[in-house]
Amino acid sequence: MVINFDNNTNYCAIFCSIDFAKEYLLKQRPNKRNATLQDIAEKLNLSVSSVSRALKDNPRISGFTKEKVRRAAEELGYVSIDTLGLKKGSASKLIGVIVPKIGYHLYATAISGIEQIAEQFGMRIVVCQSNESSEREKDLVNELINIGVKGVIVSLASETKTFGHFEKLKRNGVPLVFFNRECNEVLTHKVTIDNRLAAYNAVQHLISIGCERIAYLGGPEILQINRDRAQGYKEALKEAGLRQDASLLRFSTFDRESAMSAARDLLYQSEYPDGILAFSDQMAISVMLAAKERGISIPEQLSIIGFNNEPVGELLEPSLTSIDQPAFAMGQESAKLLLQPSTEFKLNYEKKVLNSFIVIRNSTNKNKKN
């Protein structure tokens, strides 16, 4: 958890759970000491999340535990945010931000961009992690609605297949902006790159250095961003007259084991690829590890391109060619769209497509043909 409070302005960024945000708002009442969820959890030897669910009457918590938690809350003087009338007060200065994982380089950078614009509008941000879980994402959306945030900026969880929770935001008059990972099913503002074109250009680069058997190691198939990149990959192969081989198309979740398994599937074929476009730099690193394991040299026998241009790419041996995405600008543009006057927000939905480019390093060799 990282909290940045600035006592000299009405701005702060809160990188934390919804419950911590509630407690932060409670603390804005002068000369009042309110019990926190942590206090209740320590008293009952329960987790904070279990206490939170019990107070919200979550069906996964037993009736006995709910009653025990309620009694402890009364004894300790815990006051929920809903009883404080904060929806039209302090909470109206909050923006909710939901990302798959704060630890991903792209999201950490985008959050900084959101933060910069929020500060200019006198707003605070509450940053939440879905941890790639659709159920957690739904819960977070509901809680952000409950605390009365000014708007919500979201990058979709990889498990999300239905989008009713985002329609609920719109029905409640809460402005919504998708960035990076978005979906065609929900009409709202979006900020992204042209993922189809970025993948197309990456494959063209692999073709230009002599690669002929090119694979795509993608992310979860349900993600729109992954489908767009796969489409760009296929279009580049078709235009170059290269055969599309189903054995060269693999998809993975974002955990290391899944990515390594998919990379091995590609590289332990009798005729393995000579070029691979990976969905992310982290997946590209899995390919590099699998190549080392198999004894395949990079870039002499295999050229690799990743996405996101993470700082670690420069430190790898060989250094990793990657598609740079303007993460900071994504965050800025998302916040600008969210914080524009509400009348403008409802009239026209805009999709801002930002530029990306390939950063060529040693995992691809421009002189391979020679």
Residues 199 and 276 grouped into a single domain: yes
Report the pLDDT averaged over residues 172-195. 94
Q: Roughly what angle, to the nearest 10 degrees, separates helices 105-120 and 327-339?
A: 40
Give the pLDDT score at 364. Answer: 96
Beta strands 151-154 and 189-193: pairing type?
unpaired
Assign residue 175 the CATH number of its domain: 3.40.50.2300
Are the C-beta atoms of residues 219 and 251 closer than 8 Å to each other? Answer: yes
Report the pLDDT averaged over residues 168-189. 93
Residues 259 and 312 grouped into a single domain: yes
Residues 129 and 162 grouped into a single domain: yes
Alpha-helical regions (H) of the chain: 18-26, 37-44, 48-55, 63-76, 105-120, 134-146, 164-171, 195-208, 224-240, 256-267, 281-294, 327-339, 342-347
Give the pLDDT score at 140. Answer: 92
Per-residue pLDDT of 222-233, as tens digits, reads 999 999 999 999
**Residues 6 or more apart whose Cβ sits within 8 Å of residue 331:** 109, 110, 111, 112, 113, 114, 115, 116, 117, 179
User: If you ran DSSP here, which 8-state letter would residue 82 be given?
Assistant: G
Q: Which of 19-33, 88-102, 255-269 has the lowest mean pLDDT?
A: 19-33
Report the pLDDT averaged over residues 194-201. 98
Q: Is residue 55 included in any domain, yes or no?
A: no
Alpha-helical regions (H) of 192-254: 195-208, 224-240
Q: What is the largest CA-CA distance in the chain?
A: 78
Per-residue pLDDT of 297-348, as tens digits, reads 999 999 999 999 999 999 999 999 999 999 999 999 999 999 986 545 555 7
Give the pLDDT score at 320. Answer: 97
Higher-pLDDT residue of 120 and 77 is 120
Integer-rounded Cα radius of gyration of the chain: 23
Structural domain including 199 reads 195-324
Give the pLDDT score at 349. Answer: 87
Residues 134 and 246 grouped into a single domain: no
Whole-angstrom Cα distance, residue 94 to residue 149? 5
Residues 26 and 111 grouped into a single domain: yes
Give the pLDDT score at 79. Answer: 56
For residue 172, the tally of other CB atoms under 10 A from its CB is: 12
Report the pLDDT averaged over residues 86-99. 71
Q: Is residue 334 included in any domain, yes or no?
A: no
Q: Which of 63-77, 255-269, 350-364 has the lowest mean pLDDT?
A: 63-77
Q: Is residue 267 included in any domain, yes or no?
A: yes
Give the pLDDT score at 362. Answer: 96
With a pLDDT cut of 70, the percent of the chain lying above it is 83
Residues 101 and 180 grouped into a single domain: yes
Residue 22 has pLDDT above 70, yes or no: no
For residue 63, the tally of other CB atoms under 10 A from its CB is: 9
Give the pLDDT score at 346. Answer: 55
Are the C-beta atoms of residues 284 and 278 closer than 8 Å to each other? Answer: yes
Mean pLDDT of the chain: 86
Q: Is residue 289 included in any domain, yes or no?
A: yes
Are the C-beta atoms of residues 174 and 149 closer than 8 Å to each other? Answer: yes
Give the pLDDT score at 347. Answer: 57
Residues 18 and 140 grouped into a single domain: yes
Give the pLDDT score at 224. Answer: 94
DSSP SS3 for 36: coil
Give the pLDDT score at 59. Answer: 79
Per-residue pLDDT of 94-151, as tens digits, reads 999 999 999 899 999 999 999 999 999 999 999 999 999 999 999 999 889 888 899 9
Query: Omega before 318 cis (within 30°)?
Result: yes
Report the pLDDT averaged over residues 341-366. 82
Give the pLDDT score at 18. Answer: 55
Residues 244 and 176 grouped into a single domain: no
Are the C-beta atoms of residues 12 and 124 closer than 8 Å to each other? Answer: yes
Give the pLDDT score at 5. Answer: 33
Binned at pLDDT 50, 70 and 90, residue 246 comes out as very high
Whole-angstrom Cα distance, residue 191 to residue 114? 12
Binned at pLDDT 50, 70 and 90, residue 84 comes out as very low
Q: Is residue 91 included in any domain, yes or no?
A: yes
With a pLDDT cut of 90, the percent of the chain lying above it is 66
Picking from 106, 149, 147, the residue whose alpha carbon sits closest to that of residue 307 is 106
Alpha-carbon torsion (272, 250, 360, 317), positive or negative: negative
Domains in the chain, number:
2
Residue 114 identity:
I
Residues 157 and 207 grouped into a single domain: no
Give the pLDDT score at 87. Answer: 42
